[in-house]
Amino acid sequence: MPLAERVRPTDFESFVGQEELMGPKGLLRKLICNDRIPSMILWGPPGSGKTTAARMIAQTTRSRFVEMGGVTHATADVKRAFEDAWSLLTLTGQRTILFLDEIHRFNKAQQDLFLPYVERGTIVLVGATTENPSFKVNAALLSRCRVFVLERIGEEEMVRILKRAVQVWRGEKGVEDESGGVEGERGAGKEGENGVQGTMTKNNKIDEETKALRQLALVSDGDARNALNILDLALTALSDPTQRLSHEDLRGAFQKSHLLYDRVGEEHYNAISALHKSIRGSDADAALYWLARMLEAGEDPLYVARRLIRCASEDIGLADNQALPLAVSTFQACQFIGMPECEVILAQCVIYLAEARKSVRAYKAYGLVSWGSL
């Protein structure tokens, strides 16, 4: 069983992140504890805790819990689940909670099947998706569900998750984890030069492991599952279970930064919007970051170049008449030489646009004229 499954939280105290939903005062936590689960959509990026939240519903509720997947189950499976839920409700009065992971994988016709059963209360639908439900879930079904938004796991929260996973892994190997007792060892004041040096060496290794885990938390992009899978690989590769993890161990398991990106999905539009807003805000560093994030994830450079042309006209406009010709030249250069050589050309254009003076006179003027002519 993967490490991510072995360390999956089974109670609210071990659930890390999503404080507004799953914290002591979180709405979703209260609904789960009171067993008053409404039909809902859990929307969040990969590894943010959607499946874990659903499993906690399964452990807490007195209703029958059925778990299905948008990829692994077909229409016939869903219809069979509806029939079983109706039979159970009429015979015993017990409700059925149907958890559908990756609900966005179901097409419109498949999603329409849920409408009468959700409407009558035959089932309580708990759907999970990484895509914007406004675009991927039917409006009629969405109106009958409450949408809960899960955020990416923060860096400090990710470090806590990774440290706990290391402790669990070492516990399974019969190795005592000493990272929690560092302060006690330092305060004990062991006598003898060798004892002091040994303690300092051990503490340095623990500190090095903590730094390595923090680096993994930083580059995992808020995806706990991905971070745990990388950690699992690095731990498995250790020749000695007592050995402390280092940057080199994790670098070998994680050779390239994992970037949450989808060329046709939600993150596609989030990234290009962030690039545009960074240029508009004259933040060249942020603009370069979003440019690199898109290109390294496989985005079409011509798509980025087209958006830079729009940005040059919309946000720089009359303040710098060289911005638009530069953006057009950048697009043509990307056509000529392609990736990866055009990376620097795009970077040059992005920096120029970000540092250029801004004017939206033409953009606003046309907007007023077009609105008045309608």
Positive or negative, the Cα torsion across 266, 303, 347, 319? negative
* 248-273 tens-digit pLDDT: 888 777 665 455 566 666 778 888 99
* Structural domain includes residue 369: no
139 and 172 share a domain? no
* 287-327 tens-digit pLDDT: 999 999 889 888 899 999 999 999 999 999 999 999 999 99
* Structural domain includes residue 86: yes
pLDDT (average), residues 60-70: 90
* 198-238 tens-digit pLDDT: 554 555 656 788 888 988 888 887 889 989 999 998 888 88
- Under the banding of pLDDT at 50, 70 and 90, the label for residue 182 is very low
182 and 136 share a domain? no
* Structural domain includes residue 351: yes
Report pTM. Answer: 0.69
C-alpha distances in Å from residue 285, one per residue of 147, 238, 308, 320, 330 = 34, 38, 16, 20, 19
Q: Whole domain around residue 74: which residue ranges? A: 18-149
User: How high is the pLDDT of residue 116?
Assistant: 93
41 pairs with which residues across the strands? 127, 147
* 114-149 tens-digit pLDDT: 999 999 989 999 999 998 899 899 999 999 999 999
44 and 137 share a domain? yes
**Domain of residue 75, CATH code:** 3.40.50.300
* Structural domain includes residue 258: no
138 and 22 share a domain? yes
Strands 40-43 and 96-101, how do they pair? unpaired
**Domain of residue 342, CATH code:** 1.20.272.10
285 and 305 share a domain? yes
How far apart CA 148 and CA 150 sit, in angstroms, is 7
Positive or negative, the Cα torsion across 107, 80, 122, 130? negative
340 and 322 share a domain? yes
User: How high is the pLDDT of residue 313?
Assistant: 94
* Structural domain includes residue 374: no
54 and 121 share a domain? yes
- Domain boundary, last residue among 117, 149, 181: 149
37 and 160 share a domain? no
145 and 159 share a domain? no
Contact 124, 38 (CB under 8 A): yes
Instruction: Give the number of domains in the chain.
Output: 3
138 and 181 share a domain? no
Residue 283 has pLDDT above 50, yes or no: yes
